[in-house]
Chain A
Amino acid sequence: MNDLIYARSQMGMSLAFHILFAVAGITLPLMMVIAEWMHLKTRDPIYAEIAKRWATGTAVLFAIGAVSGTVLSFELGLLWPGFMQWAGSIIGLPFSLEGFAFFTEAIFLGIYLYGRKIVTPSMHLFAGIVVAVSGALSAVFVVIANAWMNYPVGFKLQNGMPVEIDPIAAMTSPAAGPQVVHMLIASYAAIGFLAAGVHAYMLLKDKTDQFHRKAMAIALAVGATAAIAEPISGDFIARMVAHTQPVKLAALEGQFDTEDGAPLRIGGVPDVKNRVTPYSIELPKLLSVLAFHDPNARVKGLNDFARDLWPPVLLVHLNFQVMVACGGAMALMSTWAALLYLKTKRVPDHVLFLKCMVLAAPLGCIAVEAGWMVTEFGRQPWVISNILRTHHAATPVPGLLIPFLFFTLVYILLSICVIWLMLRLFSNTNPVTAPVEPAPEGLSDV
């Protein structure tokens, strides 16, 4: 039984680690391509420098994402052979497609990073675009596989085993569309905000710095657009969850009793023993409105499900609250940014705004982590909803504490190194104005 906890912890930790690099690998290339396109359009060398700086970030984060992704592909078997034996043939297709997307991303990133002086500027830009698109496609395919685990389709069940497998149909789980959109937008919002926060911090030190001003403008354009769109996508995903995974919805909301016109709870600490959620602000009928677009709709409560089929309610609810709070704050920040821009017609550089932006920098990454906790904890005790229990999927290999401890150590060390390296990279004084670093090569002299 303890081994199950270690297996779950190791998988969860690997995913929590990998997801940040994955979202960076989706968003940084987009920002870098926008900067490069701006450079080609305006011939402003600052944009070329911004593109280069983000490309370096992409290089580091993609490399770590590539190895941590490799670890995950092996861990699927090392920790969950029962799951892979059951489901490998059903969800192998999106993983194979992801493999090709990953190939494309790696190949064109090599060309983008090292071919700057070799290929033509338009080919260079094209390589960057391919990296951005294939990075996003990788996420699409992986999330499709995850959506299948939440709401499996594309096969028939016979004596507990899948028959008549249709791998294409398996990619069309009703959970797939909303999940994919939600994850992609979250990626853009999270990394857009993170980068905007870093550049806002540098702008606070020197408001005249054109490098950080322009960099923040691009990061904010990407991050704020996504952060405003994310609540809309949240509405779609909430309705999908309400229809396909009612027990998850009940856990999200700390909803114990089945109720017509259920309220939306803000905050609150679900008490599983007494089956109540105290300390919350309840907004009447709002949950029914959000989940079913009908103020009197019936929302199933946890009490309608057998106790052993409940996910860890407290964890799911709290993570959900964290995700929504972060997302809400980001949407507000984005609206503020938009208003400031409309009023002044330039990059928002109000001191209070910049300070808030610095504080908001990690919110997207926190929301991404919390969101994955919600969807993964919310599916427990199943690895495949209503079909395969997580403990039936786990490996029979004993002593999983040891690899868990080793992976923990490795991931902690890696995190320290990456944070150190990124701070070094992005807080560097702008080399365009300060000749400490060698003059920027590349775009401007192609």
Chain B
Amino acid sequence: MSDSALILAIVMIFALNFYALMGGADYGSGVWDLLAMGPRRDEQRKLIADAIAPIWEANHVWLILVVVVLFSAFPKAFALLSVSMHIPLTLILFGIIARGTAFIFRKYDSRIDEVQRRWGTIFAISSLITPMLLGVVVAAISSGNVLADHAGKTFVDLYIAPWCSWFCLATGIFAVTLFSFLAANYLAFYAGSEELKTDFRNRAIVSQVLCGISALSVWILADLEAPDLRTALANSPWSLGLQAATAMCAMFSLYALVARRFQIARLAAALQVSLIIWGWALSQYPYMIRPVYTIAQAAGPASTCNMLVIVIALGACLLFPAFYFLYSVFNHKSEN
């Protein structure tokens, strides 16, 4: 394998990580819009809308970056993924369309409550389903059921069985709880009033507990339905350290939430999510789509990979200052 293919695989995990921390939290915010309740229901929804409005489109581009790098550098993997995951990916697209357009329509359509609620409901439900399906797809390419050879296989074997399992479902639920947890942390930090902060603190604590439960179910089901991934996750030299670090982050974020130290809580939550993603990436290594393609097998020609590394390095020099600027503009606002 060329070094640049490995670099690009790592870039994709970074992009996925940023997507989870930014775009994932936007999905999670949508879940909290769906579950908004109590005396401050409308304030919760307003906070969510204000928090994500300036940034959700930029956050969404991380997913496009993952797709583009995948088809440029690993065209075989992209083709196989698109064929075997045709159904969940198509559903994800519907979710992405519904969420983005409903959000923007809600903002600019009539302010009448009924109209607002209609768009709000579409926005919130698609915010729940889309990350769930993303989790399903990630689980499916890790569990080793994707088929490369079409000969003599049925429709179900090829296009449904690879992603239709309890393990995939549990991972989807895990993704939703994780993103909701992340969003609750961000919103607790971002909220203007102490009452609103408390609302989202409580939501963060509850969703952290749910995260723990769904993580446990993923762990158990992996034993049955994704044994190779589970082995890598459990028995690698890094396993113990990574899992201890993740658990410590989780405990620490709970402590920070209880202590109302929201800045620290949100950093701990972000670190927790990142560790989970890198843990998955390490246990997936060297595979890209288990069991068909390793990173090396899926990689395109070195000339393209090398050029992409250069382009991405240059692009990153532009991107990170711009993102920093975007976030500093709107963080500044919350302090005022």
Residues on A lying within 8 angstroms of B by beta carbon are 56, 59-60, 62-64, 66-71, 73-78, 81-82, 84-90, 92-93, 95-100, 102-104, 106-111, 113-115, 118-119, 163-168, 395-399, 403, 406, 410, 414, 417, 421, 424-425
Residues of B90-120 at the interface with A, using a CB-CB cut-off of 8 Å, are: 90, 92-94, 96-97, 99-101, 103-105, 107-110
Q: Is B83 at the interface (CB under 8 A from chain A)?
A: yes
Contact between A63 and B104, CB atoms less than 8 A apart:
yes
- A13 to B: closest C-beta gap in Å: 13
Inter-chain contact B71/A77, CB cutoff 8 Å: yes
B86 pairs with A78, CB closer than 8 A: yes
Contact B72 A89 (CB under 8 A): yes
Contact B64 A89 (CB under 8 A): no
Q: Which residues of B contact A82 (CB under 8 A)?
A: 79
In the docked arrangement, what's the CA distance between A110 and B101, Å? 16
A173 to B308, CA, bound (A): 19
Closest chain A residue to B300, Cβ basis = A89
- Please give, as numbers and ranges, the residues of chain B lying within 8 Å of A118 by CB-CB distance: 329-330, 332-333
Please give, as numbers and ranges, the residues of chain B lying within 8 Å of A75 by CB-CB distance.
93
B323 within 8 A of A: yes
The answer for the CA separation of A56 and B110 in the assembled complex, in Å, is 14
List of A residues within 8 angstroms of B307 by Cβ:
93, 167-168
| Residues of B with C-beta under 8 A to A99 | 61, 64-65, 68, 315
Binary per-residue interface labels of chain B (318-336) against chain A in the complex, 1 for a CB within 8 Å, 0 otherwise: 1100110110011011000
Chain B residues in 8 Å Cβ range of A119: 329
Whether A111 lies near B329 (C-beta < 8 A) is: yes
**Is the beta-carbon distance between B75 and A89 smaller than 8 angstroms?**
yes
B58 on the A face (CB < 8 A)? yes
Q: B103 touching A77 by the CB < 8 A rule?
A: no
Chain B residues 47-86 with CB under 8 Å of chain A are 53-55, 57-58, 60-61, 63-65, 67-69, 71-76, 78-83, 86
B326 to A: closest C-beta gap in Å:
5
B297 at the interface (CB under 8 A from A): no
Does B79 contact A106, Cβ atoms closer than 8 Å? Answer: no
Rounded to whole Å, the gap between the CB of B26 and the closest CB of chain A is 12
- 17 sample A-B contacts, Cβ–Cβ < 8 Å, listed by A number: A59-B104, A59-B107, A77-B71, A77-B89, A78-B89, A81-B83, A85-B78, A90-B304, A93-B307, A98-B68, A99-B65, A107-B323, A107-B326, A111-B325, A113-B54, A165-B300, A421-B108
Docked CA distance A398–B157 (Å): 13
Contact of A397 among B73, B86, B97 (CB under 8 A): B86
Q: In the complex, what residues of A have CB within 8 A of residue B322's CB?
A: 103-104, 107-108
Q: Using CB atoms, name the residue of chain B closest to A57.
A: B108
The B interface, classified by DSSP as helix, strand, loop or mixed, is: helix
Residues of B within 8 Å of A163, CB to CB, are 301
Q: Is the CB of B57 within 8 A of A95?
A: no
Q: Which residues of A contact B73 (CB under 8 A)?
A: 89, 92
Please determine whether A70 and B308 come into contact, CB atoms closer than 8 angstroms.
no
Minimum CB–CB distance for B267 against chain A, Å: 22
* Distance to closest chain B CB from A334 (angstroms): 31
Residues of B within 8 A of A85 (CB): 75-76, 78-79
Residue pair A67, B68 in contact (C-beta under 8 Å):
no
Complex interface: chain A residues within 8 A of B110 (CB): 424
Q: Contacts A64-B104, A397-B159, A414-B97 hold; do A167 and B303 have CB atoms under 8 A apart? A: yes
For A61, give the chain B residue with the smallest CB separation.
B104
Q: Are A166 and B308 in contact (CB under 8 A)?
A: no
Least distance between B262 CB and chain A CB atoms (Å): 22
> Bound complex: CA of A84 vs CA of B318, how far in Å?
28
Q: How far, in Å, is B120 (CB) from chain A's closest CB? A: 15
Report yes or no: A96 in contact with B312, Cβ–Cβ below 8 A: yes
Q: Could you say which of B75, B103, B109 contacts A63, with CB atoms under 8 Å apart?
A: B103
Q: A81-B83, A84-B71 are in contact. Are A92 and B308 (CB under 8 A)?
A: yes
Beta-carbon contact of B100 and A396 below 8 Å:
no
Closest 10 CB pairs of A and B: A92-B72, A77-B82, A88-B75, A89-B300, A81-B79, A114-B54, A67-B100, A85-B79, A63-B104, A100-B315
Taking a contact as CB atoms closer than 8 A, the residue among B97, B319, B330 that contacts A410 in the complex is: B97
Instruction: Determine if B155 and A398 form an interchain contact, defined as CB atoms under 8 angstroms apart.
Output: yes
**Are the C-beta atoms of B82 and A74 separated by less than 8 Å?**
yes
Q: Are B101 and A425 in contact (CB under 8 A)?
A: no
Query: Which residues on A sit within 8 Å (CB–CB) of B315?
Result: 96-97, 99-100, 103
